[in-house]
Every structure is written in C-alpha cells, then in structure tokens.
Amino acid sequence: MKPVALGAADRTWSVAALQQLEERLRSLMISALAGHEQPYRQLLMDIANRLRIYFSRRLGRENADVEDLVQETLLAIHQRRFTYDIGRPFTAWLHAIARYKLIDHRRRSNSAVSIPIDDMDELFVSDASEAAAARVDVEQLLDELPSQARGYIRAVKIDGKSISEVSTSHGVSESAVKVAIHRGIKTLALRLKGTDTP
C-alpha cells in the first residue's frame, strides 16, 4: 500500500507505532546478541519481509536481483551483528546496511547510484498508518546536527517548504540554505556509514 500523508492527529499514533517497531526489533536483536536462537530467527524473518519491499520498490517487483539483495543484506547483518551498538536505534543501523547493499548492487550493474538519504522510512513502512512514524529515526539523527542545518533540513526535506521560503523566513541567502542542507545531509550520511569524516 502506498504511504499517504497523515494529519497531525495521526502522526502521534504513527510515531508511537514506529517506536514500538523499533523497540521490538531492537529487543529481538539484543536477545540474538545474547545467543538466543529463536529471537534471532524471528528478527531475520521480519527484516527479510521489509527488505523485499524496500528493494522491490527500487528495482521493480519482478527483478530477479531483489531476492539476491535480501540474502546479501541478511548475510551482512549476520556478519556485522556484533558491530550493532545497542544504545543506538536498530532501524538506522539496518537501513545503513540495506542502503549500501543497494548502492553496491547498482555499481556492479552500472546503474545510477543516486539513492536519497531520506528513503529510510520506506524500509519500515508496511502500511499508511506507519508512514509518518517512519521518520522517528531520522528525527533522532537530525537532533545530532547543529541547530541551523537541522532547522533547514526539517523545513525543506520534511515540512516541504521551498528553499526560497526558508531563505526569506530566516533572513539568509538561498545559497546559504542550500549549503547548510547539503553539509547536514553529508554529515548524516557519514554517521549512518559509521564514520565522522569523509
């Protein structure tokens, strides 16, 4: 089902729904790291279903590479599971792995490799009720940015305002807004990748 825009009243429930999903997946991962087999199997099954949707939306439902990417990502999760920091959101860690697997696939197949950083919500959106909730991890990441970049990114990328509107309301040039957004997104990408420097 295609995500739809939700009203302000729906967002509160949706954020709660995504937080519940994050807590459930994180709990399964922590149990898996403690050596419990059943939670680990459940985690991998849940993740596999979400990965199929995520990759299908980017490559097409009939693309034979979707299942290969799902398996590659699950293998990467298995091999890198001990790199997961239990103090951080699990869904952000998972998204970073899935996103880089997709980038690697597109490079191997000589496809365009431009994948927006804000596609993270699609990995966790299974119905319209979760669409707004999927932004909770992005909000947590944004909170780590300087206030100016955070404000511009929220205004343009989340609230849908134009660069011109943000420029006018903050009394700065459009190029200053663009540069701040670009640098902020670059910082977020590096943090998702696990580095703080290019």
Where does the chain hold its CATH 1.10.10.10 domain(s)? 144-198
More confident residue, 139 or 178: 178
With 0.85 as the threshold, say if the pTM is over it: no
Class of domain 144-198: mainly alpha
pLDDT digits (tens, 9 = 90+) for 118-169: 555 555 544 333 444 444 556 667 778 888 888 888 888 777 788 888 899 9
More confidently predicted of 13 and 176 = 176
As to burial, measured by CB atoms within 10 angstroms (0-12 exposed, 13-18 middle, 19+ buried), residue 102 is buried
> pLDDT digits over 7-46, tens only?
333 334 367 777 888 899 999 999 999 999 999 999 999 9
Q: What is the pLDDT of residues 73-124, one digit of tens each?
A: 999 999 999 889 888 889 889 988 998 888 888 888 765 544 554 555 555 5
Residues 6+ apart with CB under 8 A from 33: 81, 82, 84, 86
Would the pLDDT of 171 be above 50?
Answer: yes
